[in-house]
A and B are shown apart, each in its own frame.
Chain A
Amino acid sequence: MSQPLPPKLPHRFFRWFCHPDLRDAIEGDLIELYGERVREIGKRKADWKFAKDVLLLFRPGIIRQMEGYQPVNNIGMYKSYFKIGWRNLVKNKGYSAINIGGLAVGLTAAILIALWVHDELTFNKNFENYDKIAQVLQNQTFNGEVETWWSQARQIAPELRNQYGSDFKHVIMSSWNGSHKLTFNEQDVRKEGSFMEPEVTEMLTLKMLSGTRDGLKDPYSILLSESTAKDVFGDLSPLGQAILMDDKLEVMVTGVYEDLPRNSSFHDLTFIAPWELYVTSENLEERTGWGNSWFHSIAQIEDNADMDQVSLKIKDVKLNAVVAAGDDDDRFKPEIFLHPMSKWHLYSDFNNGVSVGGGIQYVWLFGLVGVFVLMLACINFINLNTARSEKRAKEVGIRKTLGSVRIQLINQFLTESMMVVVLSFFLSLVLAQLALPWFNEVSGKQIGLLWTNPFFWIIGLGFTIITGMIAGSFPAFYLSSFHPARVLKGAFRAGRFSAIPRKILVVAQFTVSITLIIGTLIVFKQIQFTKDRPIGYDNIGVISAPIRADGIRDHFDAFRNDLQNSGAVKEVALTDSPLTATNVTNGGFTWEGKDPGMAEEFATLRVTHEFGEMIDWQILDGRDFSRDFASDSMAFIINESAARYLGMEDPVGKSLKWGNNGEYKIIGVVKDMITQSPYSPVKQMLFFLNYKRVNLAHVKIDPKVSATEALSKIETVFKKYDPSNAFEYSFVDQDYGKKFDNERRIAKLTSAFAGLAMLISCLGLFGLASFIAEQRTKEIGIRKVMGASVANLWGMLSKDFVLLVVISSLISIPIAYHYLSSWLENYEYRTSISWWIFAFTGFGAVLITLMTVSYQALKAALMNPVRSLRSE
């Protein structure tokens, strides 16, 4: 009996919706039932029952998934990706280490640099009125050159308030931050702080821990920072306590504010005293006019005002006021403008009155270096992976034969690269944490990893994933495109040109590394060059100590005698500014043959008679100051630059008229001395005698006496004439050395990163070389059998790499030359870029390459050919 067939439509419907695992069994049941029913109740009814059964089967659990044969999720597949990925990592430990290590080092550098850049860019951002605060600066023209001054005359703030009150919320005057003595209960502490007008508290929105922001309204008050309050009072409550400032001003603590953050311009503002107190105690009303730009001024514009517009508006405020007051400062054509807080830190350099950047160039420099280092690490990754593609080609072939679709292969390779990248990221976090103390020391910052900042993680992980995608995508898409049949037949050969992209990447790597190294060398050379510049005097063993009591000025001769009698001191002299920063300038001179239009300006240094002897200056013409000539009180000694500046053939004996101060005779010309920036040419300078307006004592220690012994003797003498202050001093040669700190810091950082770049490139090269040696094992074996020497093989294997590095050198030389010569333009006193630096770097790079490659090359060349040929 033939089996009756169920109705077609429901049957087909059933076959369509039923889950394939259940289909056959249920279908069998249905057909069996149908057959019985046909016999028992007839075909028509059986048909209906069949349709009903099918309909009732249409329920969850029986219905198949709508998409293909896929299970509910792909977890199984991902598990497999990770498992295979991990096996691959462990199998090729060497490659994995190079990959992960190289990438981690690159990421560490990038993280450190990113943190540094972040710190630089967030400078001052803690202030609520960040967008509205500006420093009031002035441009003045001296002899055709525009100079930008951060300092202002005392009158500028009142003038701005009166004339442009509607544009400003606050304008305040402030003294320069200086070290002051605070005495409480006979205990002294020295703290950095300023005298400021009361509104500063609102402007900087100080967080008051006690007291109020109105604390400075009383002229005999003082606000302390938290740390200062702790140092002065310990656990006592500071509020309402009286302290003595600089032994003469009694002030009452009216508030304590939270310490200002380290990456802000005010971080060393550890106390604020009222400006009014400064004006009265220093007698500034009488002593200072528009011509005395001794202070500085900070403004906060109105909330709806525009910084640029206000800045333009106030341009002539000083000029007008000066003209109205009948002052002669108008000949310097003063132009007032606002320098917004956002630019204080990174855009603080002005050239001829125009902002020319500043710190921002280092942000760019290091940002670029960071990107490059990371790029090098990524290139390693790509190169090592593609180089190994031939090895994994078979795997791809087999996977494809067994049914892998391309997307699965792509996922496999991307997973592997992601694993490497994520491992590297966590490794780099550890490395960064370890490197931070060193990095902070070199960069002079206090940066921590932003563990708790979600943006740090988002950016870090996001960046990691993007890196993994980019680095992994090339191998992923390239490898997965292999044709299985051809690969498995063994006909797969990476074509002649398949190595070209790899070679280009290697060249790019070495170009960057070599450029960085050349850069580092030139920075070092520039520092060395400037350090070797003759300074024109002897600063070894000279100490400089601030004069804090009139005793030293008033009894200078006795003071000097006592010092010299102590046996430890050769000579003593007083000056008004430090020997490393003679920044006091004066104008108002006239002389015979002066161009009447010339707005002259000289650096001036007030000295005592023995100054020249103390620093051992070299008199080229005329004579030194002498106590034998009373007329020397009206005499100048000028430097060579001043002689040129004056345009005098034989300046000795000629005179200069200095405003109302009278006629000064030039008695001598000295050799130029570097008392300002060692990178700039020496300025025209006048030295003259003055025993009143001097601030620093300079003591030349007798070289025969040890420094510690001499210092204790000097201290005794200082204490005798200034019993109330602690003896503070610094060595002038060390102060001079500090002028190189910035450059040295850059040099240290760039050298570290250049080293890293080289290291990463070499790691990559090492990996590539070992791969190539492995790939050519058979060839090397055959060559050896045919009689090739080890040297031959070594040459053959190294040649390619050396060629790439030579190409890189040739590319990097002009690039480095271009950028470094423009960097050196910043320095008026600069070294030359000599050819030997390029030669040295190029040679060094080739040497390092050879060493890197030779290890692998020799290993391959020394192998016994029997072993390499036997294995199949």
Chain B
Amino acid sequence: MRQYQLGEFEEVVMLTVGVLYDEAYGVSIKKEIESRLTRGVSVGALQTALKRLEDKGYLRSREGEPTEERAGRPKKFFQITALGKRALEHNKTMREELWNSIPKIALDGKFIGM
């Protein structure tokens, strides 16, 4: 875990960026998370996470064309970098390993206890 630092919310943001592929910018990411995970996301939290991820090198950004609905402000599109991809994969395998290491009885026992 040490070489890939990725918080829970950050991971969600990155995955969403991946889902949106070419259309990942502030508002679209926010809406995607809100709709998929049914949870509120403030612009502040999202933007901070995006900036942090970009600083870490997991995301890169490009500027889009300014549009009228944005009062002439350009969109900032995000994309996952190779490093970001590796971080995500690392997270995923870590989870799977953990899952696989849980003895069956532990999960079964839990059901019995209920």
Contacts and interface: CB of A to CB of B under 8 A. Distances in A.
Interface string A386-419: 0000000000000000000000000000000000
B25 interface: yes
A834 B100 CA distance: 106
Interface string B23-63: 00111001000000000001111011001100000000101
Contact of A25 (B26, B52, B71): B26
A31 B70 contact: yes
Interface string B57-85: 00001010010111101111000000000
B73 A27 contact: yes
Interface in A1-37: 3, 5, 22, 24-33, 35
Contacts of A29: 25-27, 30, 43, 47, 70, 75
B76 A32 contact: no
Given A33-B43, A56-B44, A57-B43, A26 B74 contact: no
Given A24-B74, A29-B25, A33-B27, A56 B42 contact: yes
A59 interface: yes
B75 A57 contact: no
Contact of B76 (A25, A55, A61): A25
B73 A31 contact: yes
Interface in A52-77: 52-53, 55-59, 61-62
Contacts of B63: 25
Interface string B7-35: 00000000000000000011100100000
B43 A28 contact: no
A57 B30 CA distance: 14
B73 A53 contact: no
B78 to A, nearest CB: 10
B45 A35 contact: no
A26 B45 contact: no
A25 B48 contact: no
Interface string A827-855: 00000000000000000000000000000
A3 B47 contact: no
Nearest to A56: B44
- Size bracket of the B interface: 20 to 34
Contact of B47 (A24, A52, A57): A57
Given A31-B71, A31-B73, A56 B26 contact: no
Contact of A3 (B30, B43, B69, B76): B69
Contact of A30 (B25, B43, B66, B75): B43
Contacts of A57: 43-44, 47
A62 B73 contact: no
Contacts of B27: 29, 32-33
B47 A26 contact: yes
Contact of B43 (A24, A26, A61): A26
Given A35-B69, A53-B42, A62 B48 contact: yes
Contacts of B45: 56
Contact of B48 (A27, A32, A61): A61
B65 to A, nearest CB: 11
Nearest to B44: A56
A28 B71 contact: yes
A425 B73 CA distance: 57
A481 to B, nearest CB: 41
Nearest to B48: A61
B69 A22 contact: no
A31 B74 CA distance: 11
B47 A22 contact: yes
Contacts of A27: 71, 73
A35 B69 CA distance: 7
Given A3-B68, A3-B69, A28 B47 contact: no
Contacts of B25: 25, 29
Given A3-B68, A35-B69, A28 B44 contact: no
Contacts of B43: 26, 29-30, 33, 53, 56-57
Highest count of chain A CB atoms <10 Å: which of B47, B51, B74, B75 = B47
Contacts of A32: 26-27, 69-70
Nearest to B52: A61
A56 B68 CA distance: 25
Nearest first, the 8 closest Cβ-Cβ pairs linking A and B are A28-B73, A56-B44, A29-B26, A25-B76, A28-B70, A57-B44, A56-B42, A53-B43
20 contacts: A3-B68, A22-B51, A24-B74, A25-B26, A25-B74, A25-B76, A26-B47, A27-B71, A28-B74, A28-B75, A29-B27, A29-B47, A29-B75, A32-B26, A33-B27, A33-B30, A33-B43, A56-B44, A62-B44, A62-B47
